[in-house]
Structure 1
């Protein structure tokens, strides 16, 4: 398929720049993948879409304050976006500067763009493709440095600096495992109160950990989408979660993935046997139309960028024309798009393989 097959026009004013006052105040567009039928709801109405035997699978990754500013020892200003933590005091990062820093050089960190250097610094140890390997001084955990001077890594389509509100709102209420540089945004809609109501309905929950990397925003540049080099992200799927999926199948319930990261996690863990098996390591799974889903029966997801790998994933689940028609309806009804925007609840279409 072609990249241009997944193009749609979005009025810029529909890109949500701030979260709503309440997490669950978002709208919810429900899409029946089998029929293509749409229904306009509010996010708490998700409760009515779920059945007592269903299993909700969440990504419990925690976003780190991964954006930093600083300067070279020679004075040149630069911006750092951590891609992933690789150790207690090491990381791989994107660096934006007029000239790339050289291995062995030191970066003096500041709290704000253009600010004076403070007490923290990082050493550039090597170049790794488009990324730079960074190391904190011995005895200084990098995660602690980030907590002091790092900024929340808001997506590029949010055209404002991060603020105090983002510290909590660009994080799910169940975030636990530190390591993501972008939020699993479908989970942002769940409040503690809604989770309690879902549990009271008899819906079970399980967790995976996929540390979302900055590559999630990487555009598809190849016209033939099969030629797109998919980025890798660290993933853990536990034996406990695999057993929860198996038990759900035995009860006749549905596996409902909260977010495309949970979808990619469960599908990665199911590659070998057709059912989720414990998994620990990187995943670069790329799901696009023609893919047959092994684990996921329904999903909660936000709206995704035109021509993105995530739009291709949801197209694989219900069909390209079906999802693009839903997006046209959402635009006509003035839904809010992307990370701080509204959500969809999607059940599998015939293209997914789950209805066969």
Structure 2
């Protein structure tokens, strides 16, 4: 069956409210880890991950950093207007550039209480700093607004301004306000580049102790950047996946990392988190596009959601695709690949570069659950039933699983 014909109703399960982890464990690496390999299920904890992977493996992490994307403006009447910053306006080439803007930016935003916003401009004073943040509606689009955000300190970048003025956007299913502890715990210890509105949560379990034990077994790691958008929480409302518009996300991958992936393949490569998986699998398809369209220009090299099921790739191995992408980047004198991916991975998709996945337990009827099913097939039901029956904690602050694919 083509993934377009899949019904999201076939990817549901009952998730009791008390199984959603509202807060993380005190020790990151003591979270439980379900291991699925060769159809068998076992258990361990994250601090013992090295024992579950072959020596010489390569792990790929997403080093994006969650930004304080929730901006609250209180009107004179006392009512609150919430502006949720999604991603930069298309005038900016990438998120990093937009985050470094000073004085003013245009941003795609959701607006809570939009009907109450009658004033031309909203203002927010930042405590005793003398800094004032202003918000102006520029355009209303189908599912978001274009908001001009400006501030009266020309030395502050937008990233710095958000750190001062905003609040962390915890997932809605946690059903609580962000607390001081979330500033540390809702970031990975290796978070580096501002831009996400949700954490790459599989990485929240990793500590220096875990990295040290991996290193002792010659398990290496590399970093890519995919800035997680609010679309990761977007529910699937269509009858079939064909009508679902998969969210597009910015990726930023150094040339050196693509070269490391080429050197590693076909040995074990395991991404940590669905965002890392979507990134490295997208690299294969972008490489395919450089083979099929060798004259393609950087501005045109991106991936739409159904292209992996349409491109003529049968004779193109991962090594050929990665080498072509490397050659293309060198031809265009690019040290980084900055683009967008809209890839949707669902049953019917076959992994090209990854040999498995480390991830958390995901919501029913979500595109993330479809991705898990693409790796383990119908066994996703058995895995999730086991986790529910054995007390695993679910969603962003919950436990996780290592899923090794037999379909490689």
What residue number does 1:52 align with? Answer: 55
Kindly state the Cα deviation for residue 231 of structure 1 after the two structures are TM-superposed: 0.9
TM-score, normalised via structure 1 length: 0.90
Q: Do the aligned residues in 1 keep the contact of 2:67 with 2:197 (CA within 8 Å)?
A: yes
**Distance across 1 between alignment mates of 2:114 and 2:145:** 15
What residue number does 1:31 align with? Answer: 36
What residue number does 1:282 align with? Answer: 340
1:200-349 alignment to 2 at 5 Å? 200-249=216-265, 253-271=267-285, 272-273=287-288, 274=318, 275-276=321-322, 277=325, 279-319=337-377, 321-349=378-406
Kindly state the Cα deviation for residue 127 of structure 1 after the two structures are TM-superposed: 2.4
Gaps of 5+ in 2: 1-5, 90-97, 289-317, 327-336
Change in Cα spacing, 1:84 to 1:98, as seen in structure 2 (3 Å) is closer
Q: Deviations over 1:182-221 (max 9, x none)?
A: 0000000000121122122211111110000111100000
Kindly state the Cα deviation for residue 312 of structure 1 after the two structures are TM-superposed: 0.1
Q: Do the aligned residues in 2 keep the contact of 1:108 with 1:118 (CA within 8 Å)?
A: no
1:175 is paired with a residue of what secondary structure? Answer: coil
Q: Deviations over 1:1-48 (max 9, x none)?
A: 11111010011100000010011010000011xx32100111122110
4+ runs deviating over 6 angstroms? none
What residue number does 1:5 align with? Answer: 10
Q: Does 1:105 align with 2:120?
A: yes
Q: Do the aligned residues in 1 keep the contact of 2:126 with 2:133 (CA within 8 Å)?
A: no
2:174 is paired with a residue of what secondary structure? Answer: coil
Change in Cα spacing, 1:205 to 1:150, as seen in structure 2 (3 Å) is same
Kindly state the Cα deviation for residue 101 of structure 1 after the two structures are TM-superposed: 4.5
**Distance across 1 between alignment mates of 2:222 and 2:45:** 24
1:268 is paired with a residue of what secondary structure? Answer: helix
Tell me whether 257-266 or 218-227 shows the greater mean CA deviation. 218-227
**Distance across 2 between alignment mates of 1:55 and 1:98:** 47
**Distance across 2 between alignment mates of 1:49 and 1:246:** 23
Kindly state the Cα deviation for residue 76 of structure 1 after the two structures are TM-superposed: 5.1
**Distance across 1 between alignment mates of 2:359 and 2:348:** 20
1:46 is paired with a residue of what secondary structure? Answer: helix
What residue number does 1:125 align with? Answer: 138
Q: Do the aligned residues in 2 keep the contact of 1:57 with 1:255 (CA within 8 Å)?
A: yes
TM-score, normalised via structure 2 length: 0.79
1:124 is paired with a residue of what secondary structure? Answer: strand
Q: Do the aligned residues in 2 keep the contact of 1:27 with 1:42 (CA within 8 Å)?
A: yes
Kindly state the Cα deviation for residue 72 of structure 1 after the two structures are TM-superposed: 5.6
1:17 is aligned, of 19, 22, 26, to 22
Q: Do the aligned residues in 2 keep the contact of 1:73 with 1:106 (CA within 8 Å)?
A: no
Kindly state the Cα deviation for residue 110 of structure 1 after the two structures are TM-superposed: 6.5
Q: Do the aligned residues in 1 keep the contact of 2:81 with 2:117 (CA within 8 Å)?
A: no
Tell me whether 223-232 or 306-315 shows the greater mean CA deviation. 223-232
2:115 is paired with a residue of what secondary structure? Answer: coil
Q: Do the aligned residues in 1 keep the contact of 2:31 with 2:398 (CA within 8 Å)?
A: yes
